[in-house]
Structure 1
Amino acid sequence: MGRRKASIPRGVGTAMGIFIDRAENAEVWDVEGRRFIDFASGIAVLNVGHRHPRVMEAVEQQLRRCTHAAFQVAGYDAYVALAERLNDIAPIEGPAKTILFSTGAEAVENAVKIARAATRRHAVIAFSGGFHGRSFMAMSLTGKTAPYKRGFGPLPGGVYHVPFPAAHKGITVADSLDAIEGLFKADVAAEDVAAIILEPVQGEGGFLPAPTELLQALRRLADAHGIVLIADEVQTGFARTGRVFGIEPSGVKPDLITVAKSLAGGFPLSGVIGRAELMDAVEPGGLGGTYAGSPVACAAALAVLDVIQDEKLCERADVLGARVADRLRALAQREDLRPIGHVRGPGSMIAFDLLQERGGTTPDPVAARDVLQRAHADGLMLLGCGSLGESVRLLYPLTIPDEVLDEGLDLLESALRLPGA
């Protein structure tokens, strides 16, 4: 830790004061030999767990063949094969195309570039509480000031935020749609809007699902005004919500989809999938990146897609999520535990809030921080979220054994115990 503080800036925070030595599926061991159960998955990256054997095998085979080429210099099969697979499974209307990058923020930035090139417009509408990355355009789209935007301005212009609906916060779908109409009247004409971007389930914003009513209304609005609808599936994608893509249950087909995180099982890879005519709006050389679509990461991603299909991880996400949600609702009734509520999320994208009083609605971010610290001390890797940091999110690998999941939930219960109880 002393070496870390001396050599690495404080701007990159670390939730836990440990250093990992090795990991396997849903378990992690640090350099001091302590074992942890992983309910964080590297921030939703390890839906297939740490070092899944099929992913490791695919990576090892690719390492023997080629580790880097730069797709702008020379193509390779893994990139093309992965694009074909993603085009086939993505909920896109008509022919689709895919371009690959390295990070989620990079995918978001390029989705905006594609939308602007295709529409010849500049403005983008995003949602309060949304998280789209830390690079400049992505940061501008992100709907939370601290810690993501503070001290970095001025940010790129042409970005407008509207409220994201959440029943327990008193924000309705009608409120969100009225705010968009208000933007059109007061701040930006609809014919100047290139894109609307949102997460099917807000991640950092608190694991808030976008109501189907909202998604359908946005699709109609986008069609009426020639606006590109972008689904940011960086955190929701690849079986976490019980479907390959989080937007699928709504029946809404976006124009562009950004993907990253669990796409490659721990290897840096992201992408934009979209309607072919939109994707082809950018001239050659306008998109790309030196490491974009690494052959090693592409090989890993192809294996991840096989694992999701063969091990039925979408179904597994629903089964595990129902089990976890039932346990959390039971914990919410316990007098010896901190007050919790608002258990929510599809599949295994589950979160809950710490509350100031049982049965109430006022969030308690101080209690949430305490719960996280106690969980970490007891051997459970756990992350918070929410606009105030009031929420705890559960991101266990979908390959987690039942007995390890139960052990992790027992540790969570212990972390929720009231002092002296």
Structure 2
Amino acid sequence: MVTATAKPKRKPATRKPAAAAPAPSSATNAALLARREAAVARGVASAAPIFADRAENAELWDVEGRRYIDFAGGIAVLNTGHRHPAVVAAAKAQEDRFTHTSFQVVPYEPYIALAERLNALAPGDAPKKTLLVTTGAEAVENAVKIARTATGRPGVIAFNSSYHGRTLLTLGLTGKITPYKKDAGPFPPDIFRAPMPDTRAGITVDDALRALETLFLTDAQPDRIAAIIIEPVQGEGGYIPVPFEMLRALRAICDRHGILLIADEIQSGFGRTGAWFAIEHSGVVPDLITVAKSMAGGYPLAGVIGRADVMDAIAPGGLGGTYGGNPVACAAALAAIDALEGEGLLARSTAMGEMQRARLAEIGARTAPYRMWDIRGLGAMLAVEFVTDFDTAQPDAALTKSVIAHALKRGLILLGCGMHGNALRIMVPLTASDALIEEGLAILEAALADAIATEGHTA
């Protein structure tokens, strides 16, 4: 595993005892929901019909003062937890200096310092450079733009059940129609799709690689392909780790045809899987890495890290964005990376994953026998998949949705995922205590029992 540049080991940031809680907002969830429906575009969905008032580490309180344990982490954004003290302090210190100049007008050190740090963290010995932007989709768009410019080729290959964003180009790359791509086409040309290994569908790594070779023969001329983009652990597709054998084969294929390999680490990066980047588990070194989410501990920031010769393919002025690499977000990201390193959160992720896997297996056997089909993931990037029964193994999205709803009633925030909507993902902050995680898992088990009882099944 590649580590950050050498520095004295930091002591873990201790969380001070929470100050007296402020009085809950005078608003109610119902009133805010009505205002939301009147003012916010219908296409912006919210998983929970509650409104946040405050949060701390892995806990959140709504505007009516009710406490929730957060197993969603803002969609894997909060590996260092809500309001990590070092992250908040760094952001406030930067705010006291300036909040915006646009790096393209008057540059500043936090952008450079973060780029240096990311270059050191990224796997591989080749010199690296970094571009900072604001959103994950923007990072993917720029990675494709860089790859096309560097290779002089137009084509990009993505995979079934992938997710790369909601802009038009990234929707073209995304391999899931509902709800993301529905009725939004046509999508940009020169995007090709290959199958993923899928044990449920009986698609082996060899099958997937043969299909890719067939794609080269039928639609995707190899010397016109700029990049292959892949999530080392598929996110919206169901928290499915790509077999290491597949990643290694893709690296060899890219090398053979002069294609660039892009690792989309937006959801799987910054310690979530027990490594800085999930692809490190395979030993594969990609040419470009897209990053976002937990990089800045809750502040909006994204980027592309890549081989310096590839990153420099675009002339000055060809990359950027008004808010890209915002100084407050850069300061927060440097503090978040320090916390991940100094508090041993990568190792913590591995330990959390092992503990949660064992507990989830117990919960499934005790509370939902023959309904919890799979427990999968890397480190603390875990999902459980529900089915109607083990004989047919039919995906059970209704049960998953019911578990999420019952969990929220009991004070636990969860999210689903997967091509069939029947997977439950767990993204609890890596800073959560064992006691809090256990409390959350106990609520999950109770919610699962509630869901099964409600549908009329007996466990």
Question: TM-score, with normalisation over the residues of structure 1?
Answer: 0.98
Matching of residue 163 in structure 1 with residue 195 in structure 2:
yes
In the aligned structure 2, how far is the partner of 1:93 from the partner of 1:206? 32
Contact 1:341 / 1:359 at 8 angstroms: preserved in 2?
Answer: no
Aligned length: 421
- Other structure's SS at 2:278 match: coil
Aligned to 1:106: 138
Contact 1:92 / 1:255 at 8 angstroms: preserved in 2?
Answer: no
What is the CA-CA distance between 1:166 and the residue it aligns to?
Answer: 2.5
Contact 1:29 / 1:35 at 8 angstroms: preserved in 2?
Answer: yes
- 1:52 equivalent among 84, 103, 111: 84
Structure 1 gap segments, 5+ residues each:
none
Matching of residue 194 in structure 1 with residue 226 in structure 2:
yes
- Other structure's SS at 1:268 match: coil
- Other structure's SS at 1:321 match: helix
In the aligned structure 2, how far is the partner of 1:255 from the partner of 1:53? 34
Matching of residue 36 in structure 1 with residue 68 in structure 2:
yes
Matching of residue 419 in structure 1 with residue 442 in structure 2:
no
Aligned to 2:251: 219
Aligned to 1:367: 399
The residue correspondences of 1:301-312 to structure 2 (distance < 5 A) are: 301-312=333-344
What is the CA-CA distance between 1:360 and the residue it aligns to?
Answer: 5.6
Contact 1:118 / 1:278 at 8 angstroms: preserved in 2?
Answer: yes
Q: Deviations over 1:313-372 (max 9, x none)?
A: 000001111000001111221255671121010100000111111476321111111111
- Other structure's SS at 1:21 match: strand
Aligned to 2:128: 96
Contact 1:122 / 1:158 at 8 angstroms: preserved in 2?
Answer: yes
Contact 2:195 / 2:212 at 8 angstroms: preserved in 1?
Answer: no
Aligned to 1:271: 303
What is the CA-CA distance between 1:376 and the residue it aligns to?
Answer: 1.3
Contact 2:234 / 2:240 at 8 angstroms: preserved in 1?
Answer: yes
Instruction: Give the aligned CA root-mean-square deviation in angstroms.
Output: 1.1
Percent identity between the aligned chains?
Answer: 54
1:59 partner letter: A
Aligned to 2:164: 132
Q: Deviations over 1:30-86 (max 9, x none)?
A: 001110000000000000000000001101100000100101101100000000000
- Other structure's SS at 2:138 match: helix
Contact 2:288 / 2:306 at 8 angstroms: preserved in 1?
Answer: yes
In the aligned structure 1, how far is the partner of 2:173 from the partner of 2:100? 32
Matching of residue 407 in structure 1 with residue 439 in structure 2:
yes
- Other structure's SS at 1:168 match: coil
Query: Which of structure 1's runs of 4+ aligned residues deviate more than 3 A?
Result: 335-338
Contact 1:338 / 1:416 at 8 angstroms: preserved in 2?
Answer: no
- 1:78 equivalent among 110, 114, 117: 110
Aligned to 1:17: 49
In the aligned structure 2, how far is the partner of 1:289 from the partner of 1:246? 28
- 1:295 equivalent among 320, 324, 327: 327
In the aligned structure 2, how far is the partner of 1:171 from the partner of 1:325? 25
- Other structure's SS at 2:366 match: coil
Q: Deviations over 1:118-143 (max 9, x none)?
A: 00000100001010000111110000
Aligned to 2:27: none
Aligned to 1:181: 213
- Other structure's SS at 1:169 match: coil
- Other structure's SS at 1:18 match: coil
Aligned to 1:331: 363
In the aligned structure 2, how far is the partner of 1:95 from the partner of 1:336? 50
In the aligned structure 1, how far is the partner of 2:341 from the partner of 2:152? 39
- 1:357 equivalent among 389, 392, 395: 389
Contact 2:128 / 2:307 at 8 angstroms: preserved in 1?
Answer: yes
In the aligned structure 2, how far is the partner of 1:218 from the partner of 1:277? 21
What is the CA-CA distance between 1:169 and the residue it aligns to?
Answer: 3.3
2:331 partner letter: A
Aligned to 1:247: 279
What is the CA-CA distance between 1:398 and the residue it aligns to?
Answer: 0.2
Aligned to 2:6: none
In the aligned structure 2, how far is the partner of 1:404 from the partner of 1:132? 32
In the aligned structure 1, how far is the partner of 2:280 from the partner of 2:368? 39
Structure 2 gap segments, 5+ residues each:
1-32
